Structure 1
């Protein structure tokens, strides 16, 4: 063996200054500790636990994003099945990461069972709404009553397109591009109008009143013409006009039209139909009445005296 050839032995590595400094630092961190029963808790253990938790959190977050991306690439899934699949893989990844972290930290499952009982009680009181919304969201996705892309109207007046059904709430984008976060429990327990549950064809009623002196048949013809002139109104089912009431000042008509894009709103449809109807009414002499009342005075002695005074000639004249 050559004299210039050095053999690196474990003893030589252990005597290296950097190795000795590292060992001294580890020992110093381990000396900063407290004992609780049979458990020895040191600063070294705390740093190790924090590093494991951070690493597990980062890996779980990355794996859940990758799993959701893979689910989106599966062909043949509708938006509801895709949303449900993403939630399932996300919960699975985080559950596995949690159990793996517990195993890596060497926490006894017996001790964890006792701790989980107290922790579960705290969750039951403090996070019951969160878990309730989670279960409600899963139920909504499973029974397909509300799906991403549906147009819904909640009983508080909120209307828009469902963009996402999350763990806690559903994201609904209104016509003015404002986004509402509606808790899943509200969607499951309250009355919700789903305008696109089985079909995207939606009927809209537009009330119109005409004078009793107007030609009723002509008015119906002009209203149908006004409805057909609006771009968003469907030709099939065709628009229709009915006499809904004989009001005190007008004949009340109702124009029914059908649209295929409720997510764009219904106020614009009513406005366009009424504007076209007003223009056609003016061109064809159909009157839109204004409220009016007939005043009838009963015959009495007081009225006769007033009438006599009115007929009496003016002395100054």
Structure 2
């Protein structure tokens, strides 16, 4: 025992006698028990907590789901080690043992949480190291020596002190609030998505408003934690107002337009719309633009403001049924009743054409070389495309016309030669 004490004393550790080593051994035992408790709780309650998370929050935050067992294990270890450090007045060597274990547990917990919200690995480990040093310092003698040293490294600008301590505090606050905002947003988004009394547009609006509220709350909470006087932002807010009035006018306009679109429910995710040359179904309504996916798989990002100021065709605003017009021409020598019956049959047999409202056939004009008809067919899934329905009906009609001897007319011209009064048809 004396040999160990001499070795520690030679390296600057405050070891007085064997009693401190015995106390350190007891503290080490409590540390091992705390770590074992964390491991046991993580193994026992972790799977149940993971299942509850999937039920309440879903798989939106897959990083958190995969780390819940480790997060619970480190959290229980941190709580147990904190209790161990406070229930007894330990000696210096025992404080070092408990402080090292507590700092490591806090650092591991922070890394797991921050990686779970997809923070960069280097940032997560940087925060973990800072928390490790803070926890160790707090256990062996308080944070005052470290905070005083960090605060001494800096300079003053007016009445504001800019120091390394302020930088570290700002970094920790920003990272913690970022993680909290991400988790709260995921929980709120899942809760709103499960609400049965809201349609998709109302759900999206509620999610966006809740997200804005969470970010604003986190901002003011962070300001309060850092002790920043809001009156110092008076000049900044004036500059921001000018920036909004000039440079950010379009951005703010698109943001407000997006909220209005969601509030009046004129355009919802899943709607089939036509804006200018863009035709497709609405994938999502973002803060700046609406994502419209065409039948070619192209994704058009249309600014929200354009949808407020331009004419928009919404094929599924109040009713998802859309009528498709299919022009067909037959020769003048054709049995029109039979041809119309075959047109109606081709439309009825097409799988995407609705039975109610039933398809119809109209004779619309006597053309130059054909009797013009129009097949009117209704579909309820315009997001699947319109051209493919038209193609399917025309293919079926081609086969029916072939089977019944009905020809598709082609343009004909008659040329009259005056000499010899000879008439030639071409």
Q: 1:197 to 1:21 in 2, by over 3 A?
A: closer
Q: Answer yes or no: is 1:237 the counterpart of 2:347.
A: no
Structure 1 distance, partners of 2:269, 2:299, is 14
Other-structure match for 1:161: 281
Deviations 1:119-154 (A, max 9, x none): 232243333222211111111111111112212222
Deviations along 1:22-54, one digit per CA (max 9) or x if unpaired, are 655443432322222222211221221222122
Partner Cα separation in structure 1 for residue 347 and residue 90 of structure 2: 94
TM-score, scaled to structure 2: 0.63
1:172 aligns with 2:292: yes
Give the distance between the partners of 1:21 and 1:237, measured in 2 at CA.
79
- Structure 1 position 42 matched with structure 2 position 163: yes
Matched, 1:30 2:144: no
* Residue aligning to 2:302: 182
**Residue aligned with 1:149, SS:** coil
Distance 1:235 1:279, change over 3 A: same
The yes-or-no answer on 1:99 pairing with 2:220 is: yes
1:296 aligns with 416
Report the structure number with the largest CA radius of gyration.
1
1:268 and 2:268 correspond: no
Q: 1:77 aligns with which of 173, 198, 204?
A: 198
**Aligned twin of 2:15:** none
From the two aligned structures, give the one with the greater helix fraction: 2
Aligned with residue 124 of structure 1, among 238, 245, 248: 245
Once the two structures are superposed, what CA deviation does each residue of 1:242-277 show, in whole Å capped at 9, x if it has no partner?
Answer: 122222221111111111111211111111111111
CA distance in 2, matches of 1:66, 1:137: 23
Deviations, residues 59-83 of structure 1 (Å, cap 9, x unaligned): 1222122122222222221111111
> Could you tell me the TM-score, scaled by structure 1's length?
0.83
Q: Aligned partners of 1:171, 1:64: CA distance in 2, in Å?
A: 22
- How far apart in 2 are the matches of 1:25 and 1:237? 78
Q: Which runs of 5+ in 1 are unaligned?
A: 11-16, 308-317
Bigger relative CO (Cα 8 Å, ≥ 6 apart): 1
1:281 paired with 2:401, answer yes
- Return the offset for 1:9: 10
CA distance in 2, matches of 1:134, 1:256: 40
Report the equivalent of 1:14: none
C-alpha separation in 2, matches of 1:108 and 1:287: 85
Deviates more, 1:95-104 or 1:175-184: 175-184
Q: 1:21 to 1:139 in 2, by over 3 A?
A: closer
Instruction: Go from structure 1 to structure 2 and tell me whether the alpha carbon gap of 1:292 and 1:87 turns closer, same or farther (over 3 Å shift).
Output: same
Let me know the Cα RMSD of the aligned residues: 2.9
State how far apart, in whole Å, the 2-side matches of 1:214 and 1:292 are.
16
CA distance in 2, matches of 1:9, 1:188: 69
SS at match of 1:295: strand
Q: Deviations over 1:68-110 (max 9, x none)?
A: 2222222221111111111111111111111111222222222
Measured in 2, the distance between the counterparts of 1:22 and 1:237 equals 77
Tell me the alpha carbon deviations over residues 167-208 of structure 1, each in whole angstroms, 9 at most, x when there is no partner: 122233333444333222222222221111111111000011
Aligned pair in 2 of structure 1 residues 211, 35: CA closer, same or farther (>3 Å)? same
Q: CA deviation at 1:21?
A: 10
Give the structure 1 partner of residue 377 of structure 2: 257
Question: How many residues matched?
Answer: 295
